[in-house]
């Protein structure tokens, strides 16, 4: 299900997703229509623009929160033009599983969009690499990340994007054991508690990066 | 003979594309420069027939560079290009020593050919 | 000098009257013979001189307790009458008369040399006054006891020229006499020069009170000079007599001239009434109050400056800032209302000697001054607002120009490249290999991504989306996250304020951070936002090089921006001591 007020963009996304093997069950132009459509026929995942009528501010985020309460089984991927960790955090903080924050320009890569939709549909968390890069790249006076090795920092970044250990293995071409060791090191060095699931892990890492 | 062109622009991707576009459009791009000083050196060195000159250059702008080039012996035909529109420059283009103006998005071998011919202006014969 | 108590004044007046009567009695019944035709004029003139000095002296004493002139005039009057002791035909009378005979002249010298203050103030005055006194009683004592001046017997007129009459017999001055007369001439010559110099140096207001006295003094001294030099110049005795009479006449008039000078102040004070009427006549316009005050105080050079407590500065009636500082030849009188200064008069120092007059004028003008001060304040604010508005417009234009340039040189340039790449791809569809086409499209994709990134940055620079969506705290966090210098934002109260307040605070932080990055070479920046009683206080402190120019366009623009909300921006940036920018914005 795709919600975006720009019809052309909406159609483009639907086309990309259909090409990637998804069944696009509905296309709507605003948050109210989206909620109605989901209520009628809850899909596995929703792709929603952050800015929609009437105020063109954060309707997408608000819809995501409502959906998380009403339809915990539906993943919500919010598309945004802004590299703002604040929005990403608001999504993750709502505690819902299956949420994501992706920059609109990522849709240029159909594979990336499809991957993100699959992950939120499966209850995972997706944080745009650009947002993570900004957090990791932030200049700090006493940078806790300075204690990490370059590899550990890469692992941290991929974790922050919401990837599971398995995904980290594939991304960085590492063995599961090595990844586990890196993840452990990162958490120890940053003085973070190992979280029970990926979502809480993302939240912990993001919160730490924003602090 | 294919007219020999020098492209002056500080944006490298544009130079690269313009080179290929003009090459495909019947011109021979013989040199490139990123600013006015470089343009003068390349023009003296290669004596091209045409200089495709960006208006917004670091340092002296395209109008100033065109004036300098016009004073050269065997002065080349200068065609100004810009990401802005012709209207943005008012009468400055007409008052300049340049042969004409092309908006960058419109650039092709054909448009360059049209401007060089100009209304009633003969194409300079290159040696 | 102490104030003259009414009782003392009455006693002195009575004593003066008695002294006059005694002097007249001495002349008439003293034992000498005064020619009948000279008796009446002599009596009238001498009593007039003595009483004139004592009477006017008492008035001056009361009116100007700060000056000793009144006292000196009273003393002069008594010394004048004391001379008449010589008219008593006895040895004692003769001795006393000779000794005090010319004391009045010494007092006259003292009075003239120190007018109008009556106090010796510099070397010249001291020399003049000392010589003046040495030439009277001490010199006369020498003549009396060393040269043995002899009392003529009680026939003919009293000695010592008490009665002005042609000297009988040949006048044959001795060398000593000539020397003494020469010293007297030099003394009076210097005196005249001193008086003239002082008159010339005086400001308009001072001249006004000096002129009558000075003219009189010039006449007296001039007459005395001619009279004394008559001996040296061998002017015929008849002329000398005429001069002596005229000198006496001038002596009668001179205290009156002085009285006129004093009365002028009194007239000034009565001019305060018309001043108030004039000021009440219409709306004050810049300059009007000043010129009215200048006219009333007879000081065309008078300046008026209003105190603006909020600005902690003086402004002129037109509202332009002025510096008020003590200067040579100028005196300042502060006008107060309820103990707080509202204005200052910068004026001729002589007015400082007439605090009562200035106070009366100030009190009379008080309401108008207060009123005009408010007008000056409004004008001053208007000037500031106009200047600030011009700067804001200029800054907005500058920002537009920058956006235009950034769009053209950045995103548009890249989009043009994309367009060209697509056209090239199109023309090469038939000829190029698919790998070549793919490379061309990748190139276009990369340029597009660059254009998007630039547009995003540009848009955020124009307006931060988080500010409207999420408020000041998240917007400042985002700003700090992007800052190339480590920036820490202390917890911002999690509530929303008026849009203008949030925007202004945001731009204060954003500009201060930009400065810390660009100019200060800071290694860290601390941002703090606190709610104060009536508003929001934003503080940005870095540990950089300091020396930021609060008048520079960036900070100036911020100050203007803060000022439009009625807030205040302070910048403390000591060289080498970091920069602290504090903006306070009131919010209802």
Bond into A54 cis (ω within 30) = yes
Subunit contact C477:A138, Cβ cutoff 8 A: no
The domain that holds B108 is classified in CATH as: 3.40.50.2300
Please indicate whether, in this complex, the C-beta atoms of C481 and A134 are within 8 angstroms of each other: yes
Which among C175, C176, C173, C210 has a CA at the least distance from the CA of C194?
C210
Helical packing angle, C434-462 and C413-427, nearest 10°:
160
**DSSP reduced 3-state for B17:** helix
- Domains held by chain B: number: 1
Torsion of CA C560, C562, C564, C568, to 10 degrees: -100
- Among A61, A94, A127, residue at a domain's last position: A127
The predicted pLDDT at position C272 comes to 60
Indicate yes or no: CB of B17 within 8 angstroms of CB of C420.
Answer: yes
| C420 close to B (CB below 8 A) | yes
**pLDDT tens, position by position, C564-586:** 888 889 888 888 888 899 999 98
Q: What is the pLDDT of residues C327-364, one digit of tens each?
A: 777 777 777 777 777 788 887 776 666 666 677 777 66
Q: Are residues A182 and A98 in the same domain?
A: no
Among the partner-chain residues A57, A135, A210, the one whose CB lies closest to the CB of C469 is A57
Contact list in C for residue B84 (CB cut-off 8 A) is 408
The pLDDT of residue C509 is 93
Residue B50 DSSP SS3: strand
Residues of chain C neighbouring B56 (CB-CB closer than 8 A): 408-409
Beta strand pairing call for A45-49 and A2-3: parallel
A50-68 mean pLDDT: 86
A58 interface with C at CB cutoff 8 Å: yes
pLDDT digit string, tens, across residues C375-434? 788 888 888 888 888 888 888 888 888 888 888 888 888 898 898 899 889 888 888 888
Report yes or no on B61 lying in a domain: yes
CATH classification at residue A14:
3.40.50.2300
Q: What is the pLDDT of residue C535?
A: 87
Would you call C412 an interface residue with chain B, using a CB distance cutoff of 8 Å? yes
pLDDT over 50 (residue A167)? yes
Structure tokens at C493: 């109260």
Do residues A59 and C432 lie in contact, with contact meaning Cβ atoms separated by under 8 Å? no
C44 vs A156: CA distance, rounded Å = 120
Confidence of residue C529 (pLDDT cuts 50, 70, 90): very high
Nearest to C73 by CA among C279, C220, C236: C220
Q: Is the dihedral of CA B91, B93, B99, B103 positive or negative?
A: negative
Report which DSSP code applies to B72. S
3 state DSSP class of C33 = coil
How many domains does chain A divide into? 2
- Nearest Cα of chain B lies from the Cα of C416 at a distance, in angstroms, of 5
What range does the domain containing B106 cover? Answer: 4-117
CB pair distance less than 8 Å for C523 and A134:
no
Give A136-140's long-range contacts (Cβ < 8 A, gap of 24+).
A136/A160, A136/A209, A138/A209, A138/C481, A138/C482, A139/C483, A139/C484, A139/C485, A139/C486, A139/C487, A140/C486
Same domain, A21 and A112: yes
List, in order, residues 6 or more apart from C215 with CB less than 8 Å away. C257
- Is omega for the bond preceding C116 within 30 degrees of 0, making it cis? yes
Report for A50-59, B75-84, C211-220: range of highest mean pLDDT? B75-84
In the predicted structure, residue B8 carries a pLDDT above the cut 90: yes
How far apart, in whole angstroms, are the C-alpha atoms of residue C290 and residue C322?
15
Q: Residue A173 burial (CB < 10 Å; 0-12/13-18/19+)? A: exposed
Question: In this predicted structure, what is the pLDDT of residue B123?
Answer: 42
- What does the pLDDT read at residue B79? 94
Percentage of chain B lying above the pLDDT 70 cut: 93
Is A123 found in the same domain as A155? Answer: no
Can you point out the beta strands (E) in chain A? 2-3, 27-28, 45-49, 75-80, 99-103, 125-127
Helix axes of C272-280 and C355-406: crossing angle, nearest 10 degrees: 30
Contact C483 A139 (CB under 8 A): yes
Cβ neighbours of C486 in A, within 8 Å: 139-141, 143
- Predicted confidence at residue C237, as pLDDT, reads 67
* Confidence check: pLDDT of A201 > 70: yes
- Residue B126: inside a domain: no
> Taking 80 as the threshold, does the pLDDT of residue C289 lie above it?
no
Structural domains of chain C ordered from first start: 6-158+175-270 (1.20.1070), 280-383 (no CATH), 464-586 (3.30.565.10)
C175: pLDDT strictly greater than 80: no
pLDDT tens track for B61-76: 899 999 999 888 888 9
Residues A140 and A111 occupy one common structural domain: no
Count the helix, strand and coil residues of chain A and give each as a percent rounded to the nearest 5: 55, 10, 35
- Cβ of C417 and B14 within 8 Å? yes
- What is the span of the domain harbouring residue A109? 2-127
- What tokens does A156 get? 């941290």
Domain contains B124: no
For residues C449-456, give the mean pLDDT. 88
* Six token digits for residue C530: 């606190």
CB half-sphere exposure, C6, CA atoms < 13 A = 0
ipTM > 0.90 (yes/no): no
Same domain, A113 and A203: no
């Amino acid at each position: 299900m795709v919600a975006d007020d720009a019809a052309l963009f909406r159609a483009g996304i639907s086309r990309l997703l259909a090409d990637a093997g998804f069944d696009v069950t509905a296309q709507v132009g605003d948050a109210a229509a989206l909620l109605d459509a989901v209520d009628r026929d809850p899909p596995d995942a929703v792709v929603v623009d952050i800015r929609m009528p009437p105020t063109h501010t954060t309707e997408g985020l608000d819809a995501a929160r409502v959906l998380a309460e009403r339809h915990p089984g539906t993943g919500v991927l919010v598309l945004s033009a802004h590299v703002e960790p604040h929005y990403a955090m608001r999504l993750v903080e709502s505690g819902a599983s299956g949420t994501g924050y992706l920059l609109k320009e990522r849709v240029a890569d159909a594979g990336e969009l499809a991957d993100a939709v699959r992950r939120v549909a499966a209850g995972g968390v997706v944080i745009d690499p650009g947002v993570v890069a900004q957090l990791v790249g932030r200049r700090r006076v006493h940078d806790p990340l300075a204690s990490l090795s370059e590899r550990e920092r890469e692992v941290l970044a991929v974790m922050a994007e919401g990837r599971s250990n398995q995904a980290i293995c594939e991304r960085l071409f590492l063995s599961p054991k090595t990844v586990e060791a890196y993840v452990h090191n990162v958490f120890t060095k940053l003085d973070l508690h190992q979280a029970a699931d990926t979502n809480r892990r993302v939240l912990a890492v993001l919160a730490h990066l924003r602090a | 003979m294919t007219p020999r062109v020098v492209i002056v622009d500080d944006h490298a991707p544009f130079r690269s594309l313009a080179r290929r576009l003009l090459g495909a459009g019947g011109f021979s791009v013989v040199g490139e420069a990123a600013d006015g000083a470089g343009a003068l050196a390349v023009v003296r060195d290669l004596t091209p027939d045409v200089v495709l000159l960006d208006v917004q250059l670091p340092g002296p702008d395209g109008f100033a560079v065109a004036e300098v080039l016009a004073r050269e012996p065997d002065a080349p035909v200068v065609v100004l290009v810009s990401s802005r529109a012709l209207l943005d420059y008012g009468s400055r283009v007409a008052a300049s020593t340049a042969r004409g103006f092309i908006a960058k998005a419109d650039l092709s071998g054909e448009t360059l050919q049209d401007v060089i011919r100009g209304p009633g202006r003969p194409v300079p014969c290159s040696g | 000098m102490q104030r003259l108590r009414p009782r003392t004044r009455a006693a002195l007046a009575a004593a003066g009257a008695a002294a006059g009567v005694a002097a007249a009695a001495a002349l008439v019944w003293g034992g000498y013979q005064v020619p009948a035709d000279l008796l009446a004029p002599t009596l009238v003139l001498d009593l007039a001189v003595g009483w004139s000095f004592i009477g006017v002296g008492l008035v001056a004493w009361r009116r100007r307790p700060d000056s000793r002139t009144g006292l000196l005039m009273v003393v002069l009057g008594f010394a004048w009458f004391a001379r008449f002791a010589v008219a008593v035909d006895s040895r004692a009378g003769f001795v006393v008369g000779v000794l005090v005979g010319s004391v009045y002249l010494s007092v006259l010298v003292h009075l003239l040399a120190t007018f109008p203050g009556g106090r010796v103030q510099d070397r010249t005055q001291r020399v003049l006054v000392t010589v003046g006194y040495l030439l009277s009683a001490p010199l006369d004592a020498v003549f009396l006891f060393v040269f043995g001046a002899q009392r003529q017997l009680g026939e003919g007129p009293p000695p010592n020229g008490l009665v002005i009459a042609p000297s009988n017999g040949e006048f044959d001055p001795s060398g000593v006499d000539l020397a003494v007369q020469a010293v007297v001439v030099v003394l009076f010559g210097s005196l005249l020069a001193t008086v003239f110099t002082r008159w010339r140096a005086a400001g308009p207001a001072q001249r006004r009170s000096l002129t009558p006295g000075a003219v009189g003094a010039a006449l007296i001294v001039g007459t005395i000079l001619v009279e004394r030099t008559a001996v040296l110049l061998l002017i015929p005795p008849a002329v000398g007599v005429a001069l002596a009479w005229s000198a006496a006449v001038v002596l009668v008039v001179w205290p009156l001239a002085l009285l006129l000078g004093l009365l002028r102040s009194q007239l000034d004070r009565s001019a305060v009434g018309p001043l108030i009427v004039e000021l009440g006549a219409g709306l004050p316009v810049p300059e009007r109050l000043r010129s009215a005050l200048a006219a009333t105080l007879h000081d065309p050079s008078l300046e008026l400056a209003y105190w603006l407590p909020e600005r902690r500065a003086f402004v002129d009636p037109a509202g332009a800032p002025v510096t008020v500082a003590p200067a040579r030849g100028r005196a300042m009188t502060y006008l107060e209302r309820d103990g707080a200064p509202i204005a200052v008069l910068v004026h001729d120092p002589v007015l400082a000697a007439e605090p009562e007059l200035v106070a009366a004028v100030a009190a009379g003008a008080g309401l108008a001054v207060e009123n005009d001060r408010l007008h000056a304040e409004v004008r001053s604010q208007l000037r500031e607002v106009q200047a600030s508005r011009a700067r804001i417009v200029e800054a907005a234009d500058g920002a537009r120009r920058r956006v235009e340039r950034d769009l053209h040189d950045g995103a548009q340039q890249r989009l043009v490249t994309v367009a060209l790449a697509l056209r090239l791809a199109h023309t090469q569809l038939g000829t190029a290999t698919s790998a070549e086409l793919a490379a061309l499209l990748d190139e276009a994709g990369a340029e597009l991504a660059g254009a998007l990134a630039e547009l995003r940055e540009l848009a955020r620079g124009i307006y931060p989306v988080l500010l409207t969506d999420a408020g000041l705290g998240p917007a400042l966090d985002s700003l700090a996250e992007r800052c190339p210098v480590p920036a820490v934002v202390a917890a911002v109260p999690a509530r929303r304020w008026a849009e203008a307040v949030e925007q202004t605070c945001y731009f204060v932080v954003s500009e201060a951070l930009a400065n810390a990055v660009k100019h200060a070479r800071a290694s860290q920046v601390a941002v703090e936002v606190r709610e104060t009683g009536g508003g929001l206080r934003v503080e940005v402190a870095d540990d950089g090089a300091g020396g930021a120019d609060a008048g520079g366009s960036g900070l100036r623009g911020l100050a203007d921006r803060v000022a439009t909300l009625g807030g205040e921006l302070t910048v403390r940036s000591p060289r080498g001591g970091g920069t602290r920018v504090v903006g306070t914005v009131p919010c209802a």
